[in-house]
Chain A
Amino acid sequence: MLSFFQETIVPHFNFWIYVVIMMIGLWSVIAKNNLVKKLIGLSIFQTAILLLYVSLAVKEGATIPVIESQVLAGSAHTEPPAAEGGKKALPVINPDGYANPLPHVLMLTAIVVGVATLGVALALTQMIYKDFGTLEEDEVLRKIKALHDDV
């Protein structure tokens, strides 16, 4: 048991966490009857994936991916780095010192997508509430069945 814990769970901690969070979200999407609760579950589901990506970017002892000014300026400290232009050869930057920025950038996009989805979903929920007077899915479905059988 302990060896399982040490060999399987601890080294892949981030994966276990994201899977658990994701399943909580998925469960609530499937099992909850209230439309808003479903949406909350959907958001949790999406956020779990953000968490996975962001955890991929982490490196031991690394800092945020903003290159320090000394590194950029290099030896040419007589003039500010901004004036150098892109023509001079860039100084060698050790990537191990910085967290990987790419997953963060991707997730920024994914967050925007998630916000847009949630916005559309909430607008739809509002319209459903206006039309049916309830947010409970079973009641909505019952009222739909009671509608006249036309399209």
Chain B
Amino acid sequence: MEKRSIWKHAALAGGAAGLVNGFFGGGGGMVLVPLLMSRCGLERRQAFASSVAIILPLCVLSAAIYYIRGNLDLIQALPYLAGGLVGGLIGGRIFEKVPVAWLKRGFALLILYGAWKALTT
């Protein structure tokens, strides 16, 4: 792919991920991974890994804004953070050995359950 074309497609993909990630406080990866694969020519595992690197700075900025607006309780968040650190270490290690395509189907069912809960309660 031509270099300028990669820049344009990557910027559009990142912008879309930023819109979602700032608004919903997450979910940017769900938008980003398919775009990195279809528009930027990344293979699945590259797309998954690169999406983590892209979302990370977006989350730093968004978290700062949520904090300023009074919607981020640091003490309440602490145990989730500690768990997230341990989980991230494990996930990075086993990443190469996990059938991601199969996992995605399982996620989809959990996400639909979450959608149902959000829309009905």
Instruction: Say whether A and B bind each other.
Output: no
A positions within 8 Å CB-CB of B: none
Chain B residues in contact with chain A, CB under 8 A?
Answer: none
